[in-house]
Amino acid sequence: ADVPLQVLSVVDSTNTYLKEHPELHINGGACLAEAQTAGRGRQGRKWQSPFGASLYLSMYWAFSGGYQAVGGLSLVIGVAVVEALQKNGVEGLELKWPNDIYLEGRKLGGILVEIEGQINDQSHCIIGVGINTCLPEATGKLIDQPYADLSSHLAMEVDRNSIAVNVLDSLQLNLMRFEQDGLKPYLNQWDKLNLYRNRLVRMICGQNQFEGKCLGVNQDGALLVELDTGVKAFYGGEISVRSA
């Protein structure tokens, strides 16, 4: 399809850039950068974005049907990115709810979905994807959790362009499919990719903590955890594995 793609050298954040460039606001319109000076992660965190070390990509999509329609969106994006990487020969990928991308137990990439409010019953989404391709050690030291990158994992050299193309294609395809068919066709696949499937986890939601067995996701994309008091559906919060 004929959609605009902007390739940039350095930006503050591809999400911010996309937000501020209405000429790219066509479903599938996207921008890519070599480096970000103010890369953003979820929960207000910083996303380390040195030159050429990762894929920094954002895609625009307007969904009809308001906020409920985008409930499962993050999960679909996670699955779409995993499928794209699998096409590039990457094995051992998993998803940490809602959509952190893990490779052999360590974080490989993340997704930041920002909803720009509703116009004419449409939710305007900026979908940001960051995937570590070849992170320098100096950057790794600034990351506060175990991380992975593709170049240390794959025997062959990482072709960032081909990964970018596959991610863009897969996002387009799956977002169209999600609009038509909803989350249902993805539930099975998501559960298979679930990093914490059947594990004991801790959910942190603001001041509250809950512990239980991670069961999977429901039709709205909420995470199901079996607590002592019964099964609870989490629509937000941070999941981690429960330490003994």
Hey, which residues are catalytic here?
42, 107, 242
Confirm if 187 and 71 have CB atoms less than 8 A apart: no
Q: Which of 4, 25, 27, 41 binds ligand BTN (CB under 6 A)?
A: 41
| Upstream peptide bond of 98 is cis (omega within 30 degrees of 0) | yes
Rounded CA-CA distance 29/235 in Å is: 28
Among 34, 181, 187, 46, residue whose Cα is nearest residue 112: 46
133 annotated as ligand-binding: no
Judged by CB under 6 A, the stretch of 22-30, 33-41, 79-87, 151-159 that binds ligand BTN is 33-41
Among 132, 123, 13, 145, residue whose Cα is nearest residue 70: 123
Judged by CB under 6 A, does residue 14 bind ligand BTN? yes
C-beta neighbour count of 45 within 10 angstroms: 11
Confirm if 216 and 191 have CB atoms less than 8 A apart: yes
Judged by CB under 6 A, does residue 48 bind ligand BTN? no
Judged by CB under 6 A, the stretch of 7-15, 62-70, 86-94, 176-184 that binds ligand BTN is 7-15
199 annotated as ligand-binding: no
- 176 token code pair: 């169209």
Burial 199-208 (b: 16+ CB within 10 A, else e): eebbbeeeee
Minimum distance between the CB of residue 106 and ligand BTN, rounded to whole angstroms? 13
Q: Which is nearer to ligand BTN, 36 or 123 (CB)?
A: 36
Cα 41 to Cα 75, 78, 100, 102, distances in angstroms? 16, 15, 11, 15
Judged by CB under 6 A, does residue 75 bind ligand BTN? no
What backbone torsions phi and psi does residue 221 show, to the nearest 5 degrees? 90, 5
107 annotated as ligand-binding: yes
Minimum distance between the CB of residue 16 and ligand BTN, rounded to whole angstroms? 7
Q: Which is nearer to ligand BTN, 29 or 110 (CB)?
A: 110
40 annotated as ligand-binding: yes
Minimum distance between the CB of residue 190 and ligand BTN, rounded to whole angstroms? 17
Minimum distance between the CB of residue 219 and ligand BTN, rounded to whole angstroms? 24
Interaction with ligand BTN in 92-151: which residues (CB under 6 A)? 100, 110-112, 128-130
- 58 token code pair: 């954002």
Minimum distance between the CB of residue 45 and ligand BTN, rounded to whole angstroms? 6
Known binding-site positions for biotin: 13-15, 36, 40-42, 107
Residues in the site for ligand BTN, rule: CB under 6 A? Answer: 13-15, 36, 39-42, 45, 47, 56-58, 100, 110-112, 128-130
